[in-house]
Amino acid sequence: MPNGVRKRVVLIGALLGALLGLGAAYMFARRHEETGEEPGFSAKEAISLGMELVKLLRRIGGLARRD
């Protein structure tokens, strides 16, 4: 991959990741405001989310390998 294309891909990926993270944090904070529950999640939820993120990263990596 040429260096210019690599920089563009990394920049776009970083921007998309930041936007998705911002959206997730907004939804998390909004849920807390609406329900009044203590913010947080259980260890089981954290592990489940982590596993789903690993699966997503593997799928994205698989897209890059397709010819």
Q: How many residues does the chain have?
A: 67
pLDDT single digits (tens) 6-60 = 899 899 999 999 999 999 999 988 988 888 878 777 899 889 999 999 998 898 8
* DSSP assignment of 17-43: HHHHHHHHHHHHHHHHHHH-PPS---H
pTM of the model: 0.65
Nearest C-alpha neighbor of 8 from the set 41, 16, 29, 24: 16
Structure tokens at 1: 């991959």
